[in-house]
Structure 1
Amino acid sequence: MTFFERTRDLAKQRGMNLKQVAQKAGLSENALYRYNQGINPKYPTVKAIADVLGVSVDYLLGNTDEMYPTKLSTKEPVDLDEILNEEGMAMFEGQPLSEEYKKALLAMLKANKNSGN
């Protein structure tokens, strides 16, 4: 799927047309239609459109099929206690962790903390 196709499809999913996306991204009304004619957008343009549509730049460019960047890519701390206590939030090697496995990990972390290590 091309940049233009992903942008068009996402705009439709978000209840917008391409002119609205372009305007919200600070572009001219017809800017996005150029990218359907083989013109490649520059990074600041892709970033602005990704921000409007709420997806990652890599998704729009077709580098990944994951729409959203991972929490780790934001370089903000991750609260394992919170993640392991929420349903369906933790994954390992691309697979969701079972509730039993998450509970076991949390218990292991707490036991390690309480042992003074």
Structure 2
Amino acid sequence: MTVFDRIKKLSNKKGKSLQAVAEENNFSSNLFYRWKKSDPKGKDLAKVADYFNTTTDYLLGRTDDPTKPGEPNSNKELTWRDLGQEYGGDSPVPDEFQTMVDSLAEGYFKAHPELRKKNDDQ
């Protein structure tokens, strides 16, 4: 997924057009379309990342996690891709499946408390 694709996806989630997002950030209305063929300036990319409350690494495709470091990840929906199921892509898993995954994880960490401690130490 390109920078343009990620911005378009975030814009759609926010219910905004690309032109509206560009104008709200004081960019020309077609700037994002130009980013299809050229690399964005760092300060412009940072401004867009702040607008969407994400990271430049996410916009650049260096990570698939849009949350900022140190922020809770609880609002991130589990996707099929997170589970290694490419056929489902980035579409969210159904709520009942999410509940099942949460229960499995909770049971696993209860059985292996040393793993939770190890993660807390990092």
TM-score by length of 1: 0.59
Gap runs ≥5 in structure 1: 73-82, 89-95, 106-117
- Larger Rg, first or second structure (1 or 2): 1
* Aligned-partner Cα distance in 1 for 2:17–2:50: 15
**Amino acid paired to 2:11:** A
Q: C-alpha offsets along residues 52-76 of structure 1, whole Å, 9 cap, x if unaligned? A: 122111100101011011218xxxx
Identity within the alignment, %: 30
Q: How many residues align?
A: 82
Gap runs ≥5 in structure 2: 75-101, 115-122
Higher relative contact order (CA 8 A, sep 6+): 1
**Amino acid paired to 1:43:** G
* Aligned-partner Cα distance in 2 for 1:4–1:57: 12
Aligned residues: CA RMSD: 2.7
TM-score by length of 2: 0.57
Report the alpha carbon displacement of residue 98 of structure 1 after superposing the two structures with TM. 3.5
Q: C-alpha offsets along residues 20-63 of structure 1, whole Å, 9 cap, x if unaligned? A: 11112221111111012x11101101011111122111100101
